[in-house]
């Protein structure tokens, strides 16, 4: 367990060691146990977290606010369009000023080619930890919650197989940050990874390089498939969600046209039956029901989506307690 995390930013899990990530998971389990037993744990009494949103949220906002309250502190909701951020506040000014008002800054900005750079510019000017609530490249808190959930449901994850797959959803070109984070983190903890997607939905080349390197070091498999059914066969974890063809086009109309070609990429009961016995279905939510996944799967016995969503609270509390105390 590491004890030197006070003051650390969490912008990308790639910048944290495996041992540091394991520390987060240990603390998250302790905090989850304390909440279940009704044991107070006000480690951040009188601390304030600024939460800056450039993108709509349900679980992220609710879990960070609840987490800060349970840790004895306060979460300050700031929406970019209803503040001067929309009219001229720079990233440097946000880092300098919110870093003086608050004890931590959390940011959600998924704008393609902008989000991660913006968060890093704020962090460069901030005297307090900066936490990435999701950007265009990474979604570290979701991926931490996913790893925690897999470990709870399947035990030691080493030697297990996770299928990270694209799935059809017509709503909009969703960020690629979750699949990118998953393919990089899961091999570090001994999981074989299958990345499954139509040809147009590739991840960033440097991310793929990182994923392959992590797999090589951990002596696990990293496969890329373009056959949806093949991705399900014998897998232990089905993590199928939509993301945009961001490396092909940022135009919403063109992206929608590409997406429409793959309406049969839906996680249904037939495909779940191809997975290994005891396999689990995961999704970060919200899911496009009966488009991305059938009700029978997401509400079925293999689904762990609500435990997965709950674990967002616990891993976020762990990181906040470790970095902001």
Among 187, 274, 295, which Cα is nearest to 231's?
274
* Model confidence pLDDT, tens digit, residues 254-298: 999 999 999 999 999 999 999 999 999 999 999 999 999 999 999
For the chain, domain boundaries = 13-139+311-324, 141-308
In CATH, which of 3.40.50.1370, 3.40.50.300, 3.40.50.2300, 3.30.1540.10 is domain 141-308?
Answer: 3.40.50.1370
- The tens place of each residue's pLDDT in the chain, 325 residues long, gives 899 999 999 999 999 999 999 999 999 999 999 999 999 999 999 999 999 999 989 999 999 999 999 999 999 999 998 888 888 899 999 999 999 999 999 999 999 999 999 999 999 999 999 999 999 999 999 999 999 999 999 999 999 999 999 999 986 789 999 999 999 999 999 999 999 999 999 999 999 999 999 999 999 999 999 999 999 999 999 999 999 999 999 888 899 999 999 999 999 999 999 999 999 999 999 999 999 999 999 999 999 999 999 999 999 999 999 999 9
Is the pTM above the cut of 0.95? yes
Phi and psi angles of residue 53, each rounded to the nearest 5 degrees, phi first: -115, 125
Cβ neighbours around 278 below 10 Å, total: 9
In this prediction, residue 11 carries a pLDDT of: 98
Domains 13-139+311-324 and 141-308 share a fold: yes
Domain spanning 13-139+311-324, CATH class: alpha beta
Q: Which candidate, 154, 50, 59, places its Cα nearest to that of 96?
A: 50
């Amino acid at each position: 367990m590491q004890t030197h995390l006070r003051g650390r930013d969490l912008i990308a899990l790639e910048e944290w060691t495996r041992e540091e990530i394991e520390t987060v998971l240990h603390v998250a389990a302790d905090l989850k146990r304390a909440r279940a037993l009704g044991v107070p744990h006000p480690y951040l009494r009188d601390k304030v977290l600024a939460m800056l949103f450039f993108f709509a949220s349900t679980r992220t906002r609710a879990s960070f606010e609840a987490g800060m309250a349970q840790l004895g502190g306060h979460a300050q909701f700031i929406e970019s369009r209803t503040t001067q951020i929309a009219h001229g506040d720079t990233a440097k000014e946000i880092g300098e000023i919110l870093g003086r008002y608050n004890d931590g800054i959390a940011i959600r900005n998924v704008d393609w080619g902008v989000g991660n750079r913006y968060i890093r510019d704020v962090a460069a000017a901030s005297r307090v930890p900066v936490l990435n609530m999701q950007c265009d490249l990474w979604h570290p808190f979701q991926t931490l919650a996913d790893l925690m959930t897999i470990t709870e449901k399947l035990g030691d994850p080493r030697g297990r197989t996770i299928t990270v797959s694209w799935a059809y959803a017509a709503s909009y070109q969703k960020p690629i940050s979750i699949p990118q984070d998953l393919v990089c983190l899961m091999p570090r903890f001994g999981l074989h990874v299958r990345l499954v997607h139509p040809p147009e939905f590739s991840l960033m080349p440097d991310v793929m390089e990182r994923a392959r390197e992590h797999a090589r070091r951990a002596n696990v498999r990293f496969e890329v498939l373009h056959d949806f059914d093949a991705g399900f066969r014998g897998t232990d974890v089905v993590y199928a969600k939509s993301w945009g063809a961001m490396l092909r086009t940022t135009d919403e109309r063109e992206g929608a046209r590409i997406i429409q070609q793959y309406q049969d990429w839906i996680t249904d009961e037939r495909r779940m039956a191809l997975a290994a016995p005891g396999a689990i279905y995961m999704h970060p939510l919200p899911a496009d029901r009966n488009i991305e996944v059938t009700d029978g799967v997401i509400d079925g016995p293999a689904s762990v989506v609500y435990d997965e969503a709950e674990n967002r609270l616990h891993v976020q509390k762990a990181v906040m307690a470790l970095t902001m105390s």
